[in-house]
Homo-oligomer: A and B are copies of this chain.
């Protein structure tokens, strides 16, 4: 294991006045959190799997460990006042052990579990009377078939743990497909749940930032436009009836309070003809909040830091009537977006963010935000810049 010098924590000016925030994993979410931390002069340490992970490349205070064992995490946490996360991947039992050893995790393990365990989330939210699709745990042969008979085919099966960004989710056409998957999953030791395949009008996301002391702020509700099981565009504010936006925001606020979220909570929602249903939760800055960097009075990254430090939260107001954010996703025959960066910057108002990742098909490499007066214009310009960034031939 290599250990980098932790330069960010021996600054003369800080003299212990500001707590050290540790971030576990050094992807693009950590990278954008680091940018926000520079403004507030909050000292950040990163725990990174590789020295060239997205955030590790732009931060002096990085500890590199290929595997985040409990021992690695303990040692890392010992050098931080508060530990937060770039992803949902540290196992719940490890998080609980860290808390038992006295480390301050924000969000705490109990809240994080709602993002890590889909069955816990479904049972928990349903128990609170919050709207989720019909679901059941898959415990043995016949469970999927029974669920399909009751709710109609197809059904959606999900890995209870470890599913992420479209992986670990299957649409099952019939009982035979269900039984095939159940047997494979059982063989792999993967627990499944099955749920109703709902007819979606739109996918939405609502972001809340919440402090341990309870204060919270909610951002404008976003439409997340998906392609190939991946979020491609954010349209802000979501083009929904005002009542739907209010309900989505209220729902996110209730969930944050109910599960004891700390930091950013992203609530992914299905808008259906019958109303809103909760899809997934994320307890960290989230792709659906990238528009807040230029589009809100305070970015999700700054508010995540402020929340995990239990500091007053920043105003979440929209900075303009319309914001569009489009993800830069590696194309099948696409080149390195860096080679097209200057050309993309010629698109008026295009705010380009590249994450420092090597181009691979399907990989999120960056995003472009356009802030403006009209949604269609902002969306067109953001898409134009992304098309330029992803058009190059592979190198």
Q: Of A240-248, A251-259, A308-316, which binds chain B?
A: A308-316
Q: Does A35 have its Cβ within 8 Å of any Cβ on chain B?
A: yes
Do the beta carbons of A315 and B348 come within 8 Å of each other? yes
State whether A40 and B8 are in contact (beta carbons under 8 Å apart), knowing that A15-B336, A15-B395, A346-B312 are contacts in the complex: no
The reply to whether B342 and A311 contact each other, CB–CB distance below 8 Å, is yes
Output the least CB separation between A195 and chain B (Å): 38
Of the residues B8, B339, B346, B351, contact of A57 by C-beta under 8 Å? B8
In the complex, per-residue mask of A328-353: 1 if CB is within 8 Å of any chain B CB, else 0: 00000000101101100110110111
Given contacts A40-B354, A60-B59, contact A349 B315 (CB under 8 A): yes
When A13-B356, A38-B31, A57-B60 are in contact, do A51 and B315 touch as well, CB less than 8 Å? Answer: no
A17 to B359, CA, bound (A): 12
With the chains together, A15 CA to B311 CA distance in Å? 40
Cβ contacts under 8 Å, A18 to chain B:
338, 341
A176 CB to nearest chain B CB (Å):
44
Contact B356 A57 (CB under 8 A): no
User: Does A34 have its Cβ within 8 Å of any Cβ on chain B?
Assistant: yes
Residues of chain B contacted by A41 (CB below 8 angstroms): 338, 341, 354-356, 366
**Chain B residues near A11 (CB, 8 Å)?**
52, 57, 356
State whether the Cβ of A306 lies closer than 8 Å to any Cβ in chain B.
Answer: yes
Any chain B CB within 8 A of the CB of A200? no
A7 contacts the other chain (Cβ, under 8 Å)?
yes
Using CB atoms, name the residue of chain B closest to A395.
B15
- In the complex, the answer to whether B13 meets A352 with C-beta atoms within 8 Å is no
Q: Which of B58, B314, B315, B349 contacts A60 (CB 8 A)?
A: B58
Asked whether any CB of chain B lies closer than 8 Å to the CB of A297, the reply is: yes
Nearest B residue (CB) for A37 = B58
Between A57, A298, A309, A345, the greatest number of chain B beta carbons within 10 A of the residue's beta carbon is seen for A57
Distance A70 CA – B221 CA, assembled complex (angstroms): 55
The answer for the CA separation of A339 and B319 in the assembled complex, in Å, is 29
In Å, the complex CA distance between A297 and B336 comes to: 26
Would you call A358 an interface residue if the criterion is a C-beta within 8 Å of the partner chain's C-beta atoms? yes
Query: Are A336 and B17 within 8 A (Cβ)?
Result: yes
Docked-complex contact B13 and A38, CB < 8 angstroms: no
A181: Cβ under 8 A from any B Cβ: no
Interface residues of A in 1-60 (CB under 8 A from B): 7-8, 10-15, 17-18, 31, 34-35, 38-41, 51-52, 57-60
Starting from the known contacts A14-B356, A17-B336, A312-B346, 16 additional A-B residue pairs (CB-CB under 8 Å) come to A7-B51, A7-B57, A11-B52, A11-B356, A13-B354, A13-B358, A15-B338, A17-B338, A18-B338, A35-B38, A35-B39, A40-B352, A41-B355, A60-B60, A314-B345, A315-B349
Please list 29 pairs of residues, one from A and one from B, whose beta carbons are closer than 8 Å in the complex, sorted by A's number: A8-B57, A8-B58, A11-B356, A13-B354, A13-B356, A13-B358, A13-B365, A15-B336, A17-B341, A18-B338, A18-B341, A31-B38, A35-B35, A39-B352, A40-B352, A41-B338, A41-B356, A57-B60, A59-B60, A60-B60, A309-B342, A311-B342, A311-B345, A312-B342, A312-B345, A312-B346, A314-B351, A315-B349, A319-B320
